Structure 1
Amino acid sequence: MQILNRKTLLFKLLFVLVDIFLIHLGYLLAFFMKFGWTIPDENLTPYLNTWPGLTLSALSLFYFYKLYGGYRWRWGEVFASLVCVILFQAMAAMALSFLFRGFAFPRTVLLTAPLIQLVLLSLWRRAAWHLERRLQEAVRVIVVGQPHEAAALAEKLEAATDGAIRVAGLVVGADLQTGLSEYHDKADNYDKHCSTLAGWPVLGDVSGFNGCLDTVNPDKIFVCSSLSQEQKVEVVYACVDRDKKVLLVPDLYGIMLAQARLDQVDDVPVFTIGRLNIPEESLIIKRLMDIVLSMIAVIITAPLNILVAVAIKLETPGPVFYLQKRLTLQGKPFYLYKFRTMVVNAEQESGPVLATEKDPRITRVGRFLRGTRIDEIPQLLNVLKGDMSIVGPRPERPFFVNELIKDTPEYAYRMNVKSGITGLAQIAGRYSTSPENKLKYDLLYTKSYSLSRDLAILLQTVKVILMKDRAS
């Protein structure tokens, strides 16, 4: 294990050195394209003086977008992160050029350097992505949970990591025979003779978990949220005894314990559980940030909004904007503004239904607007009006809110904060993420709110826009 950690550390150090080298190589090549092989001293000297600032900003961005140790990501996610790094690094270069008056970055260099850097880093990172997968051994894991949930999580772990995680088997929470029989009644891919669920071997049930650990000796154990508290305790204690890393999928009760503060009454240790809302003093700062950022965004996107309005009117008759009733803080209704992406009266016959990926009601212009998230821009007006915040849980329609509350009463807690254009569920989830998992992210956002968290979500949202399979 120590040799493996040393190899991983050296590999990350190599990543850092090559990344920084290519960032600065991009700047130098841009200067060479502008001036030839002899860069004027009035340009070269300020560049060398500002080298530490450019290096620090680049390293910070690589770290923020999790590009060190992200070998489990799909390549599409790695590339989207690289685009964001280059975009914000270009802004950092312009800011440094403004702050240090002598730092002479010609406009041609500011424009060409990011393109060169993106090409160089993409080629290097693509090669390293394949190399790292060859050098890194797959992490062997056991998934513990009720049959359906355990099988679903196992499938997600292997698919989402491109095989960097290998599921050695499943441990079911219910009695082994009872659990398999229930799964068999609902699933077609159950092999009665091989005792497998969706292709993974069933190692046993929780009562025999100690034996499963000794037999398989996994690197990590994933525990699903559906297990009872007693079963979770049994699994965790067994993992701690054998010094095994255990990862718990939180249930809603576990989320309530997040950010709990350790306190004591006399000699009794207690946890103080915070409320599921944002402190009033933080709400003032959050509102000021909403107003400033949304006003800036409205001004910047004004030319684009005009082009979109013309495109919508040219393709289909009807209004440019689409108003839809949604619910925000404490269930207060408001009308959400969006660019119209569907034909007029799209739900006249069907009633309220969620749009699908290839929904025939979506126009050609609307499909492009949805794919690029441009249809969301008018919601900046909702932010200025105070209906929404820039960051917060996505507002939902009253019909769907009522249905979701019937199935999951805790869904009402997500309306303890004002709805937002983007949120934690949008950057951490995918389009196909279940409502239950999106709810968990929304509640976690409320429990761990901070201004820095909002800024981080905004920066991550840029990456999400570049990825088709992320949540909308």
Structure 2
Amino acid sequence: MNNLFDFLKKNKSDGLLIKIIELIAYLFIVHLGYWIAFKLEFFSVFGYDERNINAYSEIWPYITLFSAMVLLFNNTFKMIRKNLVEIIATMTIVVLMINIGTLSIAFFSREFALPRSLILQAVVIHFFLFITVKVIFIKFLRKYRGTKNIVVIGPIEDKENTMIKILSSNSDMDRVKFYIDPNLIEYERFIEKADKIFISDMVDNKIKDDIISTSIILNKSLYIVPKTFEIAIYKSEIVQFSDIPAFKVENLQLSVEKKIIKRAFDIVFSSLALLILSPVILITSFSILAFDGMPIFYTQERATINNKKFNIIKFRSMIKDAEKATGAIWASHDDNRITPIGKILRRFWLDEIPQLFNVLKGDMSLVGPRPERPFFIEEFNKNIPSFEYRLTVKAGVTGLAQILGKYSTTPEYKIKYDLMYIRNVSIYYDILIIVETIKKIIIGTLQRGENKEDEYEAIKEQKGIIETKNENFIEYNYFYEK
């Protein structure tokens, strides 16, 4: 084991070797699980049937290929920062998909001799083995990787907002050591002390170029928050004008083909979802009526593609006339306007289900930038000119900003997520976001765009961070982690 550590540390590694080994381990577990389930059939009250082995021997290559696709689709190999709850949630979905796929392969290959009892046993076996192997690999990778020191470079006035993002997203694998404003202090000596350099998007371009050059020379890892125009050139095609290379930046409008495919997917998926969720819709409607009276639904004007106005439909989760006294404001983390039944609805995002009717109507898409109120759009456009770019596609029930964002996600960062989505629109990407949304709802980590007070101080206390303000920079020391 130590020899492997030494080899990886002495030779630059992108992790591909580890991922291949991990993939092989999971595929081995898939077939090991079925083999154990076959052995357990000997003790079953239903007896053992030789046809089961024969059926499996015909379809195992297809099961292997399908299992590999499921593992890749669920980003199983990018979980080094995930906690145990997120690991269990992901592996549960992986195991269910693999075993449902096995039943489907057996059925369509006309080798349907795999009893459901065998599949149920395999589900349990796979569940425990997958989680065990995942935890082992994560511990291995974390030990190999070690703790890295980060220097954050950005304007001092944006310190709290930037640090909230970094501290809430990294585990004990990373430690922010310094926050420096490049306009106030020489930054090279801080870069020398760091393993990673995080550069805010608010750093001046000329200074940023110098920091990047210095970091590359010193062999440091770089994390650069992109400006809006930098996202616009993301994955752009490189073309030449004689001997001059240039990025070809397309407009943000979807092609006719993409619009047709996306609309067809929205109609099919939302129709099936409404059918499946119809019992939930009825129960929720009666619950609101019984505990809080009429109205059951809540409508509000929002803006979608090309700034077209529409009325979004939700289950009512707040008291009647919630904004009568305050006017248009965002909901807070512990908003006293939310009803008791509303807290349950919002915890599991049940209040958002009626938006599927908006999708069927064509006002919204399943995936896209969340629709904002016209009042807020006007306010944001005054300070964030690029905010209107998100209106080049239909608003969505969920989106990239929802699965990656936090309570404190600002409009500036939301637009970055939205532009990243618009640049990568595809049915495959939509399915990934929908699956991730469902997963986060189940484990309770999907965040709304709500304000949360004193988040910075709470994170520092949780991670045991002492912040020391020096004359021209800020230093962080870690004492414990709860």
Give TM-score, length-normalised by structure 1: 0.84
Asked whether the 8 Å contact 2:55–2:106 carries over to 1, the reply is: no
SS at match of 1:335: strand
SS at match of 2:330: coil
1:89 lines up with 2:98 in the alignment? yes
Q: Distance in 2 between matches of 1:172 and 1:3?
A: 35
Consecutive unaligned residues of structure 1, counting only runs of 5 or more, are 177-204
After TM superposition, the structure 1 stretch with the greater mean CA deviation from structure 2, 16-25 or 82-91, is: 16-25
RMSD: 2.7
Deviations 1:83-107 (A, max 9, x none): 3222322332232133122132323
Asked whether the 8 Å contact 1:259–1:274 carries over to 2, the reply is: no
The match for 1:23 is: 30
Deviation at 1:165, TM superposition (A): 1.5
Task: Name the amino acid aligned to 1:315.
Answer: F
Q: Distance in 2 between matches of 1:212 and 1:318?
A: 60
The match for 2:146 is: 137
Q: 1:156 to 1:331 in 2, by over 3 A?
A: closer
1:71 lines up with 2:80 in the alignment? yes
Deviation at 1:353, TM superposition (A): 2.3
1:164 lines up with 2:169 in the alignment? no
Deviation at 1:312, TM superposition (A): 1.8
Q: Distance in 1 between matches of 2:277 and 2:252?
A: 34
Task: Name the amino acid aligned to 1:262.
Answer: I
Q: Distance in 2 between matches of 1:350 and 1:114?
A: 52
The aligned runs of 1:41-440 (5 Å cut-off) are 41-126=50-135, 128-130=137-139, 132-149=141-158, 152-154=161-163, 156-176=165-185, 205-206=186-187, 209=188, 211-213=189-191, 215-216=192-193, 218-440=194-416
Task: Name the amino acid aligned to 1:23.
Answer: V
Identity of aligned residues (%): 33
Asked whether the 8 Å contact 1:275–1:447 carries over to 2, the reply is: no
Asked whether the 8 Å contact 2:437–2:446 carries over to 1, the reply is: no
After TM superposition, the structure 1 stretch with the greater mean CA deviation from structure 2, 142-151 or 319-328, is: 142-151
Q: 1:352 to 1:53 in 2, by over 3 A?
A: same
SS at match of 2:430: helix
Deviation at 1:385, TM superposition (A): 0.7
1:461 lines up with 2:461 in the alignment? no
Task: Name the amino acid aligned to 1:74.
Answer: N
What is the number of residues matched between the two proteins? 439
SS at match of 1:50: helix
Give TM-score, length-normalised by structure 2: 0.82
Q: Distance in 1 between matches of 2:43 and 2:245?
A: 69
Deviations 1:123-177 (A, max 9, x none): 443455445434531123322222244565455434422211123433422123x
After TM superposition, the structure 1 stretch with the greater mean CA deviation from structure 2, 261-270 or 326-335, is: 261-270
Asked whether the 8 Å contact 2:142–2:173 carries over to 1, the reply is: yes
Task: Name the amino acid aligned to 2:56.
Answer: Y
Q: 1:318 to 1:113 in 2, by over 3 A?
A: farther
Q: 1:433 to 1:155 in 2, by over 3 A?
A: closer
Consecutive unaligned residues of structure 2, counting only runs of 5 or more, are 1-5, 449-482
Deviations 1:195-242 (A, max 9, x none): xxxxxxxxxx34xx2x444x42x3332211111110111111222333
Deviation at 1:253, TM superposition (A): 2.1
SS at match of 1:466: helix
Q: Distance in 2 between matches of 1:261 and 1:10?
A: 30
Q: 1:14 to 1:281 in 2, by over 3 A?
A: closer
